[in-house]
Chain A
Amino acid sequence: MHHSLVRRYAVPLASVLLAACAGNGDGLNSNGMPAAPGSAPNTPLTANFQSIQDNVFTPICVRCHSGASAPQGLQLDEGHSYALLVGVPSSEVPSRDRVKPGDPDDSYLVQKLAGASTIVGARMPFGGPYLPRSTLDIIRQWISDGAAPGTPEQSAKVALAVTATSPVEAAVLERAPQQVLVAFNREIDFSLVNATTISVAQLSEDGRAQPIPIGAFRAVEGNPAAVLLLPARPLGDGTYRLVVRGTGPAALADLSGNPLGSDVIVEFSVDGAP
């Protein structure tokens, strides 16, 4: 009886299914879209947002993460992905940004792709294949570099922001730092960097701030989006406040004149300095 069933149903069924095979990809680029005549194939994956979009988000993630019903509202097609990733709290863990520029370890996107124990729900891409370590490393590198947008148009949509400082907020240092670092998400107008736009002050016990003279402000070699402050004298024991002005006439701005938008304040302590 079972053999007759197989003959009766399986053979015609198999014929129909074999007729509906996968596409051969003729005339398509690696994203499954028609390739422009004479266009080059996609460039290899690099730590650049456009490259990540072309090699990861569009070909892999967009099948589910697109349109009105994109899971968690996260649309990863080219028109939406950057604006919905960088600096945007995740839906599953709202205390964590999907992409936190300068901090891949604390970026929920990286955690979801790596299957970290801190995530909620399934590892992505859902059902696999999971991204190889080399791809994940490149995404991490892009975030470490400040998670810059890939094109000037995308860049203009994103507000200038401080992505990292050293020392970090609430740090307690056993040795006085020789320098203070402030990193931004894109190149700033270095002509605006001075003791008014970026300052360090020591806080007294009654809360008053005593300015610390800065011997020099230096650009970081190879990274125009970061500034080094060299104090004129070693920082003694105490609590310090770093202020980056983002508002008012003395606001720090990028090369297009877009100001930081708000003051950034970071406090740290030195305990045990000679």
Chain B
Amino acid sequence: MSRAHPLVAAATAVLALFGAAARAEPYLAVANGYKCGQCHVNPTGGGERTAFGEVFSQTTLPAQHIDTGTDVWTGALNRFIAIGGDLRYQFEAQQVPQQQTTNEFDLEQARVYLSASVIPDRLLVYVDELVAPGGALNREAWGMLWSANHTWYLKGGQMYLPFGLRLQDQSAFVRSVSGISMTTPDSGLEVGYEHGHWDAQLAVSNGTAGAAPTSNGKQESLQLQFVENRWRVGAAANFNGANADGSREMYALFGGVRTGPIAWLAEADYIEDHSRPTGPGGQQKQLAGLLEGNYALARGHNLKVTYEYLDPDRDVAHDQQTRWSFVYEWTPLQFLQLRGGARLNDGIPQQPTQHLHLYFIELHGFF
């Protein structure tokens, strides 16, 4: 057995100060009692990892750390510039009743991150670029100014909005129905507060989800979260007045708790869309929910079971949809994760596509 590099040993010691073994993404934060900004340069999570997040992902996350005999990769090119990236490549099969089963290899995404701490710990400029598949697409590009005591920040540019759990699965009901995910950044300003157990964000943005801005109104997102070591709870509200046909209001309750080896995540979203007058009150009311358990079977191994519920129109009976996901995540080495699983949709019998069964094996590389 090779001896650990001194830097790795030091990094592991630092991590040990913050918590026990951890796994990935929002459930990782729950499992360890971290805030999102512990591992990501973005205080609301996602994208480039901090030096802490990089070390964590190499020393604590994988089943085995291969000692390369060199310094631990932290993403830092120098004192000011850091880079990172994610690549997800998968083979998936889709089964839909009355349709031929399809299967294909698919480059889901390749992203690169670049940050410049032009004034270390105070002023950060950040870019998140989706470089494949297809042409390059900017996801985030913003600048963020921290207060001297690192309690307040002001962020401006194109960004993901604060609303609920920042899940990796962008097709989850709570993300797709709310329309706020890591596929739908918006341009605007965000004021954030990070102090002790609390964090809060208020964002004002165009509200057009990537389309040309309008002068009809703007989108306001407010989120408040309390983070304890074993549990957390948050609430979010969103009002979008950018559509000339009517406004859209959304409310979310979300949280997480750690019970032994299981990290639980939950979110419930309620949406009223006045631009879609399907209901008797001249609005469409939707309800979406998620409950997820992440069972840490062993270091580098995670079993994720997710149940999702969607009522696409509260004024219509018998139209609910559900989705179960069973995903096994194995992180054998630093920078490498293999994921495999199934997502089983269920819905009304009249619509075959609501009965999609999706099976996938994914290679996830990250640095």
Binding site for B on A (CB under 8 A): 1-2, 5, 9, 13, 17, 20-34, 41, 59-60, 63-64, 66-75, 77, 79-80, 91-93, 115-123, 125-130, 132
Which of B26-34, B36-44, B226-234, B317-325 has 4 or more CB atoms under 8 Å from chain A? B317-325
Contact of A73 with B241 in the complex, beta carbons under 8 Å: no
Report A-chain residues with C-beta under 8 Å of the C-beta of B147: none
Q: Does B207 contact A (CB under 8 A)?
A: yes
Q: A60-B353, A66-B276, A128-B358 are in contact. Are A73 and B210 (CB under 8 A)?
A: yes
Report B-chain residues with C-beta under 8 Å of the C-beta of A75: 275
Binding site for A on B (CB under 8 A): 92, 94, 96, 99-100, 102, 106, 108-109, 130, 133-137, 170-171, 176-180, 183-184, 207-212, 219, 240-243, 245-248, 259-262, 273, 275-276, 278, 284, 289, 291, 307, 309, 312-313, 316-322, 346-351, 353-354, 356, 358
User: Closest Cβ of chain A: how far from B133's Cβ, in Å?
Assistant: 7
Q: A20-B320, A22-B347, A28-B350 are in contact. Are A69 and B184 (CB under 8 A)?
A: yes
Report A-chain residues with C-beta under 8 Å of the C-beta of B316: 28, 32-34
The 9 closest A-B pairs by CB, nearest first: A73-B211, A127-B171, A69-B179, A25-B348, A68-B243, A23-B318, A22-B346, A68-B240, A68-B248
User: Closest Cβ of chain B: how far from A54's Cβ, in Å?
Assistant: 12
Contact of A71 with B99 in the complex, beta carbons under 8 Å: no
Contact of B207 with A69 in the complex, beta carbons under 8 Å: yes
Which A-chain residue is minimally distant from B320 (CB atoms)? A23
User: Closest Cβ of chain A: how far from B64's Cβ, in Å?
Assistant: 23
Contact of B278 with A33 in the complex, beta carbons under 8 Å: yes
Q: How far is the CA of A128 from the CA of B90 in the complex (A)?
A: 14
User: Closest Cβ of chain B: how far from A210's Cβ, in Å?
Assistant: 44
User: Closest Cβ of chain A: how far from B105's Cβ, in Å?
Assistant: 11
Q: How far is the CA of A132 from the CA of B98 in the complex (A)?
A: 11
Which B-chain residue is minimally distant from A16 (CB atoms)? B291
Partner of A67, one of B184, B243, B260, B262: B243
Q: A119-B133, A119-B134 are in contact. Are A9 and B346 (CB under 8 A)?
A: no
Report B-chain residues with C-beta under 8 Å of the C-beta of A31: 351
Q: A20-B309, A28-B350, A117-B134 are in contact. Are A71 and B322 (CB under 8 A)?
A: no
Which B-chain residue is minimally distant from A73 (CB atoms)? B211
Which A-chain residue is minimally distant from B357 (CB atoms)? A129
Partner of A1, one of B183, B260, B349: B260
User: Closest Cβ of chain B: how far from A90's Cβ, in Å?
Assistant: 10
Could you pull out 17 A-B pairs where Cβ atoms are within 8 angstroms? A2-B260, A5-B260, A22-B347, A23-B320, A26-B318, A33-B313, A60-B353, A67-B248, A70-B209, A75-B275, A117-B134, A119-B135, A120-B134, A121-B130, A121-B137, A126-B170, A129-B94
Q: A25-B350, A69-B178, A119-B134 are in contact. Are A74 and B260 (CB under 8 A)?
A: no
Say whether chain B's binding surface is mostly helix, strand, loop, or mixed: loop
User: Closest Cβ of chain B: how far from A249's Cβ, in Å?
Assistant: 36
Partner of A122, one of B183, B242, B356: B183
Q: How far is the CA of A128 from the CA of B207 in the complex (A)?
A: 25
Partner of B179, one of A26, A71, A93, A116: A71
Contact of B184 with A71 in the complex, beta carbons under 8 Å: yes
Contact of A128 with B276 in the complex, beta carbons under 8 Å: no
Contact of A91 with B212 in the complex, beta carbons under 8 Å: yes
Q: How far is the CA of A70 from the CA of B313 in the complex (A)?
A: 17
Contact of A24 with B358 in the complex, beta carbons under 8 Å: no
Report A-chain residues with C-beta under 8 Å of the C-beta of B351: 25, 30-32, 59
User: Closest Cβ of chain A: how far from B21's Cβ, in Å?
Assistant: 16
User: Closest Cβ of chain A: how far from B337's Cβ, in Å?
Assistant: 19
Report B-chain residues with C-beta under 8 Å of the C-beta of A126: 170-171, 176, 183
Q: How far is the CA of A63 from the CA of B313 in the complex (A)?
A: 10
Contact of B135 with A68 in the complex, beta carbons under 8 Å: no
Q: How far is the CA of A194 from the CA of B212 in the complex (A)?
A: 41
Contact of A121 with B183 in the complex, beta carbons under 8 Å: yes
Contact of B356 with A24 in the complex, beta carbons under 8 Å: no
- In the complex, besides A73-B210, A115-B133, 20 extra interface pairs with C-beta distance below 8 angstroms are A9-B259, A20-B309, A21-B322, A22-B321, A22-B346, A23-B317, A24-B318, A25-B350, A27-B317, A30-B350, A60-B353, A64-B176, A64-B177, A67-B275, A69-B219, A70-B211, A72-B209, A122-B109, A125-B353, A126-B170
Q: How far is the CA of A30 from the CA of B319 in the complex (A)?
A: 10
User: Closest Cβ of chain B: how far from A222's Cβ, in Å?
Assistant: 32
Q: A64-B176, A71-B209 are in contact. Are A23 and B276 (CB under 8 A)?
A: no
Q: How far is the CA of A120 from the CA of B137 in the complex (A)?
A: 6
Report B-chain residues with C-beta under 8 Å of the C-beta of A2: 260-261
Q: How far is the CA of A33 from the CA of B350 in the complex (A)?
A: 11
Report A-chain residues with C-beta under 8 Å of the C-beta of B179: 64, 67, 69-71
Which B-chain residue is minimally distant from A64 (CB atoms)? B176
User: Closest Cβ of chain A: how far from B242's Cβ, in Å?
Assistant: 5
Contact of B212 with A22 in the complex, beta carbons under 8 Å: no
Contact of B353 with A73 in the complex, beta carbons under 8 Å: no
Partner of A68, one of B134, B247, B313, B348: B247
Q: How far is the CA of A117 from the CA of B320 in the complex (A)?
A: 35
Contact of B348 with A32 in the complex, beta carbons under 8 Å: yes
Report B-chain residues with C-beta under 8 Å of the C-beta of A93: 135
Q: A68-B240, A72-B211, A73-B208 are in contact. Are A21 and B319 (CB under 8 A)?
A: no
Q: How far is the CA of A28 from the CA of B312 in the complex (A)?
A: 13
Contact of B262 with A22 in the complex, beta carbons under 8 Å: no
Which A-chain residue is minimally distant from B207 (CB atoms)? A68
Contact of B137 with A92 in the complex, beta carbons under 8 Å: yes
Contact of A20 with B278 in the complex, beta carbons under 8 Å: no
Which B-chain residue is minimally distant from A14 (CB atoms)? B307
Partner of A28, one of B171, B180, B284, B318: B318
Report A-chain residues with C-beta under 8 Å of the C-beta of B176: 63-64, 126-127
Report B-chain residues with C-beta under 8 Å of the C-beta of A1: 260
